[in-house]
Amino acid sequence: RIPNFDGASSAADRLGTLPEFRAAKTVKVNPDTPQKAVRQMVLTLGKTLLTPQPRLRTGFFSTLSQATFPTGVTVADCVTSKGVAKHGTPVSLYDNYTVDMVVVGSTAVCPTTGARVGKGEGFAELEWGILSLQGNLNATTTLVVTTIHDDQIVSDIPKGALTKHDVPVDIIVTPTQIIRVSDRAPKPSGVFWDLLSPQ
């Protein structure tokens, strides 16, 4: 799992200071606990939240926007996986929308190359591949941001350690700092079908 960390809310607040985040209208955020405060901030600021169903078990993505909440439903009701499943609007593969920023969780990340380690199951990469294949994000220009603890920053993930489907990050946000990756590895585009099992 993506580890939760002390200061996750502070990291989310710092993410909120990024001009790219302020300008974003639709933000994809992973469903893990450390990014709960990010999902809450996205909705509180009136943006559209795009979030995947955990491990894509029960569907693809859901969107949520405070403007469409039913009476009595609060932002806090909608930032957990159960809340998303209950109150979110399912998104099909063919819906037309544009993702302006992607926020991912990480186990570790390199500030030089942007290489990250996630759960090790490849779901963030598969989601990226599908969204880029369907034209819902631009693999070259859409920013990828991670919120992590300072202790999760490592300096020993070279570009060559990434596989062809790995998605590096552009910006690392911790409770104490913002790091713009200086020599980011290239981002992939599309789905690498040869890497997928029949399931």
pLDDT for the residue 193 = 61
Cβ–Cβ under 8 Å, residues 136 and 97: yes
Summarize pLDDT for 61-118 with one digit per residue, the tens: 899 999 988 888 999 999 988 888 888 898 887 889 999 999 999 999 999 999 888 8
**pTM: predicted TM-score of the whole model, two decimal places:** 0.89
Summarize pLDDT for 1-60 with one digit per residue, the tens: 788 999 999 999 999 999 999 999 999 999 899 999 999 999 999 999 999 876 555 567
With 70 as the cut, is the pLDDT of residue 121 above it? no
Strand order of the β-sheet with 178-180 is: 89-91, 61-64, 48-52, 26-29, 101-104, 143-147, 171-173, 178-180
Amino acid sitting at position 10: S
Nearest CA-CA partner of 64 in 87, 82, 44, 86: 87
Cβ–Cβ under 8 Å, residues 137 and 161: no
Instruction: Using only the alpha carbons of the chain, give its radius of gyration.
Output: 16
Summarize pLDDT for 132-190 with one digit per residue, the tens: 989 999 999 999 999 999 999 998 776 766 766 678 999 999 999 999 998 888 887 66
Q: Whole-angstrom Cα distance, residue 66 to residue 60?
A: 20
Q: Whole-angstrom Cα distance, residue 17 to residue 42?
A: 12
Token pair of 161, please?
């350690």
First to last CA, the chain: 21
Neighbours of 46 (CB within 10 A): 10
Cβ–Cβ under 8 Å, residues 136 and 61: no
